[in-house]
Structures are given as C-alpha cells and as structure tokens.
Amino acid sequence: MFKRIMKGGQKKPSKSDSTDGYAPPANNPTAVVVPPPSGTIEPLPLFRDVPVSERQNLFIRKLQICCHSLDFTDTMKSVREKEIKRQTLMELVEFIQSGSGKITEICQEEMIKMVSVNIFRCLPPASHENTGQDTADPEDEEPSLEPAWPHLQLVYELLLRYVVSSDTDTKVAKRYIDHSFVLKLLDLFDSEDPREREYVKTILHRVYGKFMVLRPFIRKAINNIFYRFIYETERHSGIGELLEILGSVINGFALPMKEEHKLFLVRALLPLHKPKPVAVYHQQLSYCISQFVEKDYKLADTVIRGLLKYWPLTNCQKEILFLGELEEVLEAMQAAEFQRCMVLLFRQIARCLNSPQFQVAERTLFLWNNEHIVSLIAQNRTVVLPIIFEALEKNVQSHWNQAVNGLTVNVRKMFVEMDAELFEECQRQYLEREAKAKEVEEQRELNWKRLSDVAAQNGPDMIIV
C-alpha cells in the first residue's frame, strides 16, 4: 500500500488508485483533484513516514479523505471508514499544531473547503419545530446532541488551530475566511449542541481578533441575528454565546465611543430584554450593558430608560433579573445622569416595593444595602422620598411577608436619619391624602345608600336618570 501511494506522484493516477486519497496529477503536484462524493476510504501514511517535500501533497490527500460524508445516525454503519476519517483528522490537527512548516496557499484553500463540507450543514429542527408546540421555558428543554460530534470536534479543532496559528498569513487566509464563510459560521450558533456552540464562539472570537477587515461585517451580522430573534422568532440557541463575544468586543471599544456602537446599544442590546427567554442569556446581556456604562458613564441614563421601557408586567422572575441589572447600572452611575431619570425610575421602584410577590419586593429593598445607591438617593431625597413614601407606608401597614415588612421599616429609618423634617412633611401629606380619600369613599357610600333608600320607597318601577 505504502509503495503504491509513493508511486502516485510519479504517474498519472488511475481509477484504481483513486481510493488511496485522490493524489494530484504528476505534471502538476499543486493541482487540486476534487474528490468524488462517495467511495471507499483507505488509510494514508503518517506525515513522519514521508519526506518533507511530500508532506504538502499528503496533507491535501488527507483533506480529501475527510471530505467524505458518513452517516452517524447509525453507529453500526461504515465503522471502518469512520475510524479512518477520525484518525486522519487527528493527524491533520497535530500537523497544524506542530508548526512543521507553513502550509501552502493551495493547502489552505483545500482545508477550508474540507472544513466547510463538514460543518456547514442543515441543522436538525428544534424540538418545538418537530411538535409544532411552543414550550413554556427554553431552559427546561434538553439539548439535541450532534451524533457526528467525535468527527466535528476534530474539524473545529483544526479550524481553530489554523486561525490562531502564528504561521497563518491573514492576507492569504482572508481569501477563504471571507464574508460568506463568516455568515455560515454564524448560522451554526443556532445549533442545539452546546459543545458545538462553544467551539463556534471561540473560533469567531479569534477570527474577529485576527481579521480586522471583517470586524464591522461581523458586528453587523450579529446585529441582524438579534433583530430577527427580537422581532420575529424569539427562538435562537446561541444568543448567550454571541453576547459573550460582544462582551469582549465592547471592552475593547476606543473612547470617545463611536455613534455606531451607541446605536448598537439602543437598537439591539436593550431590546434583547423584551423576549420571553431573556433569562437564558440575561447574565451575558447584563455584562454587555455594564461594559457600556463602565466605558461611558453618560450612557447610564439611556440604559435605565431602556430597562424601564421593557420592564416586565407579569413575570416576577424577569423582574428580579431586571432589579439585579438595575443595581449594577446604578453602581456605576453619576449624580447628573441619576437626576435625569430618577422620577421615572423611582415610580417603578415604588411599584416593585408593593409587589405581592415577596421576592420582588425584597430584591427592591436590597437596593438600600448599596452604599453608592444610598448616596445618590440621599443627595436627591427631596425628589425620591415623596415618590416612594406611600409605597413604604403600605408595606409597613399591610404587606403579608414579615421579611419585607422588616426591611421596609429599616429603609424608613434610613430616611428619618437622612432628613427627619422631610420625612415628617411627607408623612403629613400622606395622612392628608389618606384622610381625603377616606372622606371621598364615605361620601360615595352615603350617596349610594341614599339612592338605595329612594329606590326602595318608590318601588321597582322607578327609573333613575
């Protein structure tokens, strides 16, 4: 077998030789022979067993073996061919990783072709697409694992090693890792297999770092994925992984921040709070938002208003997530930005204080455990306290949860210590409003009683206009 392979470079390969890896023609050793779509796979010699001058050709022949598509849904089918392909992929990864020498441009082209044949495929339909039903919570769904992963992992590893290699010339590589390649790579983020998404995330992040010319295109393409997810499908498996990449990208934004980046915050990141499955990727989303505020504290007002715009009305678990994110933003907020949004903000906080869901009310009261937030509130207490005073009083008087009741008492004490005179004035105004409301209610009940008495005296035929 070995002698037959070695002689392949000295004569034009025959049909019988084609099963040995599709060697290039002798008159043009760099020419690429497109492998047939089917046929048997035969093992090729190891790289260390051939002269250095023959390794580039052997590299191409091994790539051609790996272009064979095999059925992984049946574990008993093509067992020998699968093992040969797996071993060949491992050898290719080791060859790239070892840095044995710069691979030629034609080898790079063939490698990207092989990678594309294997990883760019139609993903299987998600579980909700099979049943036609929309599941209530994507977190509860079991991921569908890719049966071909033992081979796909090696293909991804090969691609990753190629991208990160110091021997890879970006001027050459960008001819093959182009816009079309990036778009197809982004499509793979919708894979249900978390192992695949992790590899795709790592590779795209490295591509973003190495190929500067592709950066605007990648950001725009990710934007488009977000827009479709937010406004059309609300279904995508890789939003969290995409946000992880963006967290690092945002961290590298130069100051002053470009208008393009601020628009990305307003048009893509903030609306990502709207979809139902936000809990799946909220941690990564919150990190991206906090990176924007840390980069430019003036954006805190924009972020707060965005959170209030998408604040959940009936989902208590989402509210708890929003309150946690709110605290992170307020932690980085300056007084001037706080003053711009504090009225709208504390109207929402007042509603959360009175939430019958004790975790929401409790998480809201925890905001007063943050020294920076308390400092901002103290500086603007003449505006803040009148807005939330009634909510505090209602909690003390009638909230069913003892923990919420106790925390509210502590917050009231803090306001008394801040400004006793202001607290007393708010209390006086509150009692006046309560007295007036009680008076109006009593008058209303009296009027109804009078009407009922008149109706009773005049009988059932009386018509009240």
Cα torsion 147, 151, 155, 158 to 10°: value is: 140
| Distance of alpha carbon 168 from alpha carbon 117, whole angstroms | 21
DSSP 8-state code for residue 124: P
Q: Helix, strand or coil for residue 75? A: coil
Q: In the prediction, which pLDDT does 151 show?
A: 92
| Distance of alpha carbon 208 from alpha carbon 177, whole angstroms | 11
24: pLDDT strictly greater than 90: no
pLDDT by residue (tens digit) across 90-115?
999 999 988 766 788 999 999 999 99
15: pLDDT strictly greater than 60: no
| Distance of alpha carbon 295 from alpha carbon 249, whole angstroms | 12
pLDDT by residue (tens digit) across 229-261?
999 999 999 999 999 999 999 999 998 999 999
Mean pLDDT to the nearest integer, 108-130: 84
Q: In the prediction, which pLDDT does 26 show?
A: 39
Q: In the prediction, which pLDDT does 323 show?
A: 97
Copy the structure tokens of residue 21.
Answer: 């890896």
Q: In the prediction, which pLDDT does 34 show?
A: 42
Q: Where are the domains of the chain?
A: 333-451
Work out the percent of the chain whose per-residue pLDDT is above 90.
69
Whether residue 357 contacts residue 387, with contact meaning beta carbons closer than 8 Å, is answered with no
38: pLDDT strictly greater than 90: no
pLDDT by residue (tens digit) across 388-432?
999 999 999 999 999 999 999 999 999 999 999 999 999 999 999
Helix axes 149-164, 79-98, angle to 10 degrees: 20
Q: Helix, strand or coil for residue 343? A: helix
| Distance of alpha carbon 341 from alpha carbon 449, whole angstroms | 46
Q: In the prediction, which pLDDT does 462 show?
A: 56
Name the pTM for this structure: 0.83
5: pLDDT strictly greater than 80: no
Q: Helix, strand or coil for residue 234? A: coil
267: pLDDT strictly greater than 90: yes
3: pLDDT strictly greater than 70: no
